[in-house]
Amino acid sequence: MNGVSVEAVLFDFSGTLFDDTGVLGPPALVAAASRHGVSLDEAAAGEVIRQALAHVDSPEGFAAREGCDLSQEAHRTIWTKLIAESGLGPELTEALYECLTDPGAWRPYPDTVPVLEELHGRNVPVGVLSNIGWDIRPAFGRVGALAALDAVVLSCEHGLAKPDPALFALACARLGTEPGRTLYVGDDPVKDGAAVRAGLPVYLLPTERDARTPRGLAAVLRLVGTP
């Protein structure tokens, strides 16, 4: 850590604390589709998900998602437009978007809650800073970890998104900590790595991840308080 003593920690959300690889599942879409008046079996739901993601995750889809996390309205507008462009009707578009933003569909990695609780128990200021277009607090509340967070800073609530250094500075201000003593933990070398431009030391996690496998967050415990 280049001789810097870490006194606080900011975490990314998606792919860092909660898994992003299994959010859209056939059972959840079957239930959501039913609420919107569409009957699907799991095989058909799986095909709908593949069809939508083929477009949403295409190079054109990634480009069209620019700015989607700057507000909840922008997120809904951009994502539902992309989902509809994949060939889905309005009912399935709404059902799929509902699944994507359902806090109950996001699973924490096995080491997420224990590490957050350990830091909280040490009286280390802990926050989450996320590029996101919906409120993730219920996801933490569902697993009993919301009380361990001293600050939750969401791009959609501030009209700023990583890699903008201003968002990192705002998050440190919310924590009441100096950027140089606040570790940022994420998984994206570009968006999360940009924390260094705001003066924060950065710890990047590996790209490979699975909801069933610890994310490697225990290393953060060894870094806190270590010069």
The rounded percent of the chain whose pLDDT value lies above 90 is 93
Count CB atoms within 10 A of the CB of residue 154. 23
Give the start-end residues of each E strand in 27-161. Answer: 107-108, 126-130, 151-154
Find out whether 48 and 40 touch, Cβ atoms under 8 Å: yes
CA contacts within 13 A on the Cβ side of 156: 15
Report angle CA 224, 225, 227 to the nearest 5 degrees. Answer: 110
Q: If you average pLDDT over every residue of the chain, what do you get?
A: 94
Kindly state the tokens that stand for 182: 């606040």
Q: Decide if pLDDT at 45 tops 80.
A: yes
Say if residue 27's pLDDT is above 60: yes
Tens-digit pLDDT profile for residues 130-160: 999 999 999 999 999 999 999 999 999 999 9
pLDDT band at 5 (very low <50, low <70, confident <90, very high): confident
Q: What is the pLDDT averaged over residues 86-112?
A: 95
pLDDT greater than 70 at residue 227: no
160-215 pLDDT, tens digit each: 999 999 999 999 999 999 999 999 999 999 999 999 999 999 999 999 999 999 99
SS3 letters across 10-55: EECCECCCEECCCCCCHHHHHHHHHHCCCCCCHHHHHHHHHHHHHH
For residue 226, pLDDT beyond 70: no
